[in-house]
Amino acid sequence: MKPWLISFKRFIQEIWHDKMLFFICLSPILAGVFFRFGIPLLERFFAERLHYGLHLDQYHVLFDLLLGALLPYMFCFASTMVMLTEYDERITGYLAVTPLGKRGYLLTRLGFPAFLSFFGSCALLIVFSSSRMPLYLITLIAFLSCLLCFNISLLLFALSGNRVEGLALAKLSGLVLLGLPAPFFVPNEIQFFLAPFPSLWIAKLAVERKLILLIPAVLTGIVWILPLYRKFDHKLSRC
Amino acid sequence: MRMKGLLWGDIVFQYKYGFYFLYTILTVFYIGVAITLPQSWREKIVILMIFTDPAAMGLFFMGAIVLFEKSQKVLDSLAVSPVKPIEYVVSKLLSLAFISTSAGLAIAMASGLPVNLFTLTISLFCSSCLFSSFGLIIAAKATTLNRFILATIPIEITVMFPAVGYLFGWRPIWGLVHPGVCMMEVCLQGSFVPVAFGILFGWTVLFLFFALAVIRAMLQSVGGVAL
């Protein structure tokens, strides 16, 4: 346990010095304030001044989904950037053969941030949810968002050879999040092209509120982790 | 000859690390999105997509490229080679501008954007060089990717917000001194295209020289000593 804590402390110190930790904490709060208070103001402004009805009520669940995913995404993205830098500078190989080990490295770089952002995500949704989600749904959305972001980060690190490839992949990995707006804009029969992505099932769970949708949401999340972990393990073995 | 070698090296580097693949996928995706949009929204959303992604790619990727070169000691080798800072900067800008301009043009043409392709090409090229110059200036000072990404946020806000405002109807005449607004004016085929084009070109040249000064200083101090 001690090597894990030391490694995690080092990671937190690094993103603290980069000011990234401050940004990770601040920007979801700003987004929450905007979604909760800015959007109703914007709707009123459009209606009163421009005589144009924006009618964003139907998208309040989508705003909540985005808010729920924001903190875990940012935290995991920051840790992916740290991991890619450590890999390029050949620190990862050394860390993996210390008492920390490969699994400890993954846990302290991605597991702990995802775990911590679960609580942050719950708190954000409780305070700023514009669709007034019930607590059980907030917990599920926060948990599934953390799992999704853990997957995205694992994918970025496992499949990229260096930070340049990592950043290119990060841009492409945004497509994995396309499942979130899909139930709001894409017809049902086309939505299922996005079925392999956990994001679609998270959004459907939030929209339809049927607990049965939790099964594909968790399963798609876990199915992604297994091959990616193997790839991650293989990558660290070659360091 | 040296310039040609540098440029070719950068193009191969970007090809090897998936930039061409990435922008092929993203271009197809953006075209798909553009085609599904209602005609009344299409023009503005397409301009917004082109401006915020292909045109701005240099700002996003330059940090990773320069930091990777730093960690691989490429800059140390370049510093003691006959390569001049201007050649290094121009090579980076041109190689990224090629991808930006091609992707932006493909999106504009496939989605039927009613715009003069010649002016769009030139303005895309200038915008790309401008964003890449911003990226180079920040990347030269950055020590980590996270720090680079954070440092790009104020630039993005400063360049993007007035431009997006202009696109959606906030159009004060003095806004034309802003490079993002100039890009929008050219894309929207407004009444001040030649002025906007001139101002955009001016900003591009100005920041090219800023980037050059920063890169010169960086190359003179790699390894911790002033050369």
Q: What is the pLDDT of residues B107-143, one digit of tens each?
A: 999 988 888 888 889 989 999 999 999 999 999 988 8
Q: How confident is the model at residue B105 (pLDDT cuts 50, 70, 90)?
A: very high
Tokens of B56: 């701005």
Distance from CA of A162 to the nearest CA of B (A): 8
Q: Which residue has the higher pLDDT, A5 or B115?
A: A5
- Which residues of chain A make contact with B26, given a CB cutoff of 8 A? 171-172
Percent with pLDDT over 70 in chain B: 98
Q: Is residue B223's pLDDT more than 70?
A: no
Specify the pLDDT at position B227.
53
Phi, psi of B171, rounded to the nearest 5 degrees: -130, 65
Asked, for residue B29, whether it belongs to a domain, the answer is yes
A-chain CB neighbours of B18 within 8 Å are 165, 168-169
**How is chain A split into domains, by residue range?**
2-237
Domain count, chain B: 1
Percent of chain A with pLDDT over 70: 98
Residues from chain B contacting residue A167 (CB–CB below 8 Å): 60-61, 63-64, 145
> How confident is the model at residue A61, as a pLDDT?
93
Residue A51 pLDDT level (bands cut at 50, 70, 90): low
Nearest to B68 among A18, A164, A171 (CB): A164
Q: Is the pLDDT of residue A107 over 80?
A: yes
Q: Shortest Cα distance from B62 to chain A (angstroms)?
A: 9
Do A206 and A187 touch, CB atoms closer than 8 A?
A: no
Which of A41-55, A193-207, B149-163, B166-180 has the least mean pLDDT?
A41-55
Query: Torsions phi, psi of B38, nearest 5?
Result: -65, 150
Does residue B224 have a pLDDT over 70?
A: no
pLDDT number for residue A162: 85
pLDDT for the residue numbered B2: 84
User: Chain-wide mean pLDDT for chain B?
Assistant: 89
> A209: buried, middle or exposed (CB in 10 Å: 19+, 13-18, 0-12)?
middle
Of the residues A74, A91, A167, the best mutation for testing chain B's interface (the one with the most B CB atoms within 10 Å of its CB) is A167
Q: Which 3 state secondary structure label does DSSP give A72?
A: helix
For residue B102, count CB atoms less than 10 angstroms from its CB and return exposed for 0-12, middle for 13-18, buried for 19 or more.
Answer: middle
Are A125 and A64 in contact by the 8 Å Cβ rule? The answer is yes
Arithmetic mean of pLDDT, B158-165: 90
Per-position DSSP letters for A186-207, written without gaps between them: S-HHHHGGGTTSHHHHHHHHHH
Q: Please say if the pLDDT value at position B226 is more than 60.
A: no
Residue at B227 is within a domain: no
Distances (CA, A) of B120 to B85, B139, B204: 29, 28, 15
B33 pLDDT higher than 60: yes
Q: Which of A49-63, A85-99, B47-61, B199-213 has the lowest mean pLDDT?
A: A49-63
Residue B145 confidence (pLDDT): 87
Q: Taking residues A60-78, report their average pLDDT.
A: 93
pLDDT at A158 over 80: yes
- pLDDT for residue B1 is more than 80: no
Predicted confidence band at B193 (pLDDT cuts at 50, 70, 90)?
confident
Is B182 buried (19+), middle (13-18) or exposed (0-12) by CB count in 10 A? buried
Q: How many helices (H) and strands (E) does chain B have?
A: 10, 0
Residue B71's domain comprises 2-222
**Nearest residue in A to B150, CA atom:** A20
pLDDT at residue B127, rounded to an integer: 93
Which residues in chain B are closer than 8 Å to A89, comparing Cβ atoms? 71
Q: Nearest to residue A85, comparing CAs of A156, A2, A16?
A: A156
pLDDT the model gives residue A54: 72
Question: Is the predicted pLDDT of residue A50 greater than 80, yes or no?
Answer: no
CB contact at 8 A, B31 and B106: yes
Whether residue B93 contacts residue B208, with contact meaning beta carbons closer than 8 Å, is answered with: yes
pLDDT of residue B66: 92
Instruction: Assess whether pLDDT exceeds 70 at residue B41.
Output: yes
Sequence-ordered alpha helix ranges (H) in B111-192? 117-141, 145-167, 179-187
Task: Provide the pLDDT for residue B13.
Answer: 92
Is residue B88 one of the residues assigned to a domain? yes
Instruction: Give the residue among B61, B32, B78, B197 at the shortest CA–CA distance from B138.
Output: B61
Contact between A149 and A109 (Cβ < 8 Å): no
